[in-house]
Chains A and B, each alone.
Chain A
């Protein structure tokens, strides 16, 4: 079953790997990733996932990640309303605390 998640997170070293690694470890295949920088040093990510487990449980697991600000399940049929910033994301090598 395919699911879509919208994630907004701080763009710090390792953040994207944490997000993708968590989705994979929890039993979801990653069909697609769309990611761009947003305002305030944040990153907007659209994940298209394949899996049979509860997407709501994965949502709650992702919400626990330190760098994640928002994670939402996008209902079936709804087009994601990401307004990608045309600029490349500002990569922050040092930690953000």
Chain B
């Protein structure tokens, strides 16, 4: 069979049912082979959309996402998506066409060294030099993408190799990921000892809980230990909103009670998190009184930024059930509970217009647990993280590590295709939506019933907020008051739209968002001056949270 056909057979062998991509010259053999398979190809309108949609698909389906592009600009357009998958540990296989082997290194038309460009942002990459290596490269790519800490793998396929004669080589073990290693007994014993002695412990959980599919084990762990728990942006939903032990999100835009608990704790149990700078604030002043127990599948994350007294490297599903230690912390729990009450969110902002945090909160209260929410990046992203009450972590899709504006719409496309009977809502901003607005054509082409809720403050709001607070209101290149007419844009793609300008119109809008059968574009103008609170200034300790009254 042709090499390109063996690529498709490999995808089939790994259980791939949906791929996202965009054809071009060097990848034509693969697109020809796609005509003879049942694998569904989703044609996006930009390769970045393909990569981000594949991420959305992977995060909802729990499968490896697949995106395909041609050489040169097709490959470079995938780069942001590949980086996003790398930073957020999403299993992704990116297949790129490459110029024919004799042309590599000659500055040929649409030639780019995508292997070199992507080296810092992949788990591994293969430039396939021999046709007989195609299937082995594909098998390794899928195994690597899904094993251990998940991430992206690139397979770069020169056109002559794709057109050569190949034999299909089936994956070992049906293409299963490597089993995660069990955890060290001694480390578990030392962690239990620290937990038993702790007087003010806090659990700090992250995206690793979700990546490792250890949600049930994590919830059992929290319930068994009764330890107050905070989470990162990527850890939202691992513990359902409203859980009695949950203090909320920590970090730059976290809840004050969550940050204060971490600053006061004497033991920090870090579960699948990595001390990101948006979480810790000034690292040297983060959790200053705490001993640290750090659990992670990735040994290189342990001790990278904060020394841990106990490190537990391995599968959370193995470790967490062995840490069911309940310390005597009634007074500490009571202290955290009071703090939680004192610093609870308020939704009584005096405004005639729409107050975005309240609309997001009300939307989540009206929505079923099966609703998926994708975000872009900026103020609306933080409002979703703060105010949408997630019950399941896989229902919150956000670009955490890379912070990719333009993530939300393609991710919603991937999520909707992975869960066709669910309601998928993309909550976005007027800066972000324009980054991948072309994917409205994909929504239309495939008849996807995605709801787009655009909070439009006619500005790059988060940058504007920082310029207001930290640059003496010297606003530089954040004005978007010349935004296009979004209702006309929606109409051009045959997507119904509505405009929500007053607070009293929000209930009707929420009803429409949740009950309209097809796609819907909801344009919500909001106050340009509305900011995200609270806020830890960059470089400051998490103890020093700015609130609206201080600003």
Contacts and interface: CB of A to CB of B under 8 A. Distances in A.
A56 interface: yes
A92 B499 CA distance: 61
Contacts of A60: 299-300, 302
A18 B123 CA distance: 11
Contacts of B303: 54, 56-57
B300 A13 contact: no
A78 B271 CA distance: 37
Contacts of B126: 95, 97
Given A14-B127, A66-B144, A61 B137 contact: no
Interface string A7-42: 000000110011001100100000000000000000
A65 B116 CA distance: 15
Given A17-B119, A63-B299, A97 B137 contact: yes
B124 interface: yes
B88 interface: no
21 contacts: A14-B125, A14-B127, A17-B116, A18-B119, A54-B303, A56-B303, A57-B303, A63-B299, A63-B300, A64-B300, A66-B124, A93-B129, A94-B128, A94-B129, A95-B126, A95-B129, A95-B133, A97-B133, A97-B136, A97-B139, A97-B140
Interface residues of B, number: 24
B371 interface: no
Interface string B115-146: 11001100111111110010011011000100
Interface in A76-96: 93-95
Contacts of B124: 65-66
Contacts of B127: 13-14, 95
B300 A61 contact: yes
Contacts of B119: 14, 17-18, 21
B346 interface: no
Interface of B: 115-116, 119-120, 123-130, 133, 136-137, 139-140, 144, 298-300, 302-304
Greatest chain B CB density within 10 A among A13, A54, A61, A94 is at A94
A66 B127 CA distance: 14
A57 B304 contact: yes
Nearest to B129: A94
Contacts, number: 51
A63 B124 CA distance: 13
A63 B144 CA distance: 14
Given A95-B133, A97-B133, A21 B120 contact: yes
Contacts of B304: 54, 57
* Top 10 A-B residue pairs of the complex, sorted by shortest distance between their CB atoms: A60-B300, A66-B124, A94-B129, A97-B136, A61-B300, A94-B130, A60-B299, A97-B140, A57-B304, A95-B126
A6 B124 CA distance: 21
A57 B300 contact: yes
Interface residues of A, number: 20
Given A14-B116, A63-B299, A93-B129, 5 more contacts: A13-B127, A57-B303, A95-B127, A95-B137, A97-B140
Interface of A: 13-14, 17-18, 21-22, 25, 54, 56-57, 60-61, 63-66, 93-95, 97
A93 B161 CA distance: 14
Contact of B123 (A54, A66, A95): A66
B129 A14 contact: no
Contacts of B123: 64, 66
B187 to A, nearest CB: 16
Contacts of A54: 303-304
A97 B136 CA distance: 7
B340 to A, nearest CB: 35
A94 to B, nearest CB: 4
Contacts of A61: 300
A47 to B, nearest CB: 17
Nearest to B307: A54
Contacts of A64: 123, 298, 300
A18 B125 CA distance: 10
A56 B300 CA distance: 9
A21 B126 CA distance: 17
Greatest chain A CB density within 10 A among B124, B129, B130, B300 is at B300
A66 B139 CA distance: 14
A30 to B, nearest CB: 16
Greatest chain A CB density within 10 A among B124, B302, B303 is at B124
B120 A25 contact: yes
A64 B123 CA distance: 8
Contacts of B136: 95, 97
Nearest to A22: B120
Contacts of B129: 13, 93-95
Contacts of A14: 115-116, 119, 125, 127
A97 B127 CA distance: 12
Contacts of A93: 129
A58 to B, nearest CB: 9
Nearest to B139: A97
B119 to A, nearest CB: 6
B384 to A, nearest CB: 31
B158 to A, nearest CB: 12
A18 B124 CA distance: 9
B14 to A, nearest CB: 15
A31 B298 CA distance: 28
A81 B304 CA distance: 29
Nearest to B302: A60
A95 B126 CA distance: 7
Given A14-B116, A14-B119, A95 B300 contact: no
A60 B300 CA distance: 5
A66 B466 CA distance: 41
A40 to B, nearest CB: 19
Contacts of B302: 60
A6 B414 CA distance: 43
Contacts of A66: 123-124, 144
